C-alpha cells in the first residue's frame, strides 16, 4: 500500500549545527506534504508545508526540500537549539484527504 516513511528513527546533532531529517513517500500522486514537530506529551505542531509544484520552501530556520523524481522529502533545521529536540513527522495529504504520517524521527540536540 501507499506509505510515507522516514529513513532514520533517531538523529543526534550538536547544538548550533544544522540538521537534516529525511522522509520517503511512495504515492507519486501526492501533491501536498507537511512537516510536524511533536514534543513529549504534546500534540503535533505544524512547521512547514510544500506543494508538489515546488522544490523548496523556506521558513524561519527551516527549509523543506521536495524531490519528486525520487519521491523524497527533507526538513533542514539551521543552527539547532535545545528547543528543537522533538520527534519530527512528515505527512502526506491535506485538503479533504486524510493525512498519512511517517514513522517519525527523534531529533536530539547535544549541548
Partner 1 sequence: GAVVSQHPSRVICKSGTSVKIECRSLDFQATTMFWYRQFPKKSLMLMATSNEGSKATYEQGVEKDKFLINHASLTLSTLTVTSAHPEDSSFYICSAQNGETQYFGPGTRLLVL
**Minimum CB–partner distance for residue 21 and partner 1 (Å):** 14
Q: Which three-class secondary structure state does DSSP give residue 84?
A: helix
**Minimum CB–partner distance for residue 79 and partner 1 (Å):** 26
Q: Which is nearer to partner 1, 84 or 92 (CB)?
A: 92
Strand residue runs (E) in the chain: 4-6, 10-14, 19-25, 32-38, 45-51, 56-58, 62-67, 72-77, 86-94, 97-101, 105-110
**Minimum CB–partner distance for residue 12 and partner 1 (Å):** 16
Interaction site with partner 1 (CB under 8 A): 32, 34, 36, 41-46, 49, 89, 94-96, 98-99, 101-104
Amino acid at each position: 500500500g501507499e506509505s510515507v516513511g522516514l529513513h532514520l528513527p533517531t538523529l543526534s546533532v550538536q547544538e548550533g549545527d544544522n540538521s537534516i531529517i529525511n522522509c520517503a513517500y511512495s504515492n507519486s500522486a501526492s501533491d501536498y506534504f507537511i512537516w510536524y514537530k511533536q514534543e513529549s506529551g504534546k500534540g503535533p505542531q505544524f512547521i512547514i508545508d510544500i506543494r508538489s509544484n515546488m522544490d523548496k520552501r523556506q521558513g524561519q530556520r527551516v527549509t523543506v526540500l521536495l524531490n519528486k523524481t525520487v519521491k523524497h522529502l527533507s526538513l533542514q533545521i539551521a543552527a539547532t537549539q535545545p528547543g528543537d529536540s522533538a520527534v519530527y513527522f512528515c505527512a502526506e495529504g491535506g485538503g479533504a484527504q486524510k493525512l498519512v504520517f511517517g514513522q517519525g524521527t527523534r531529533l536530539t540536540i547535544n549541548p
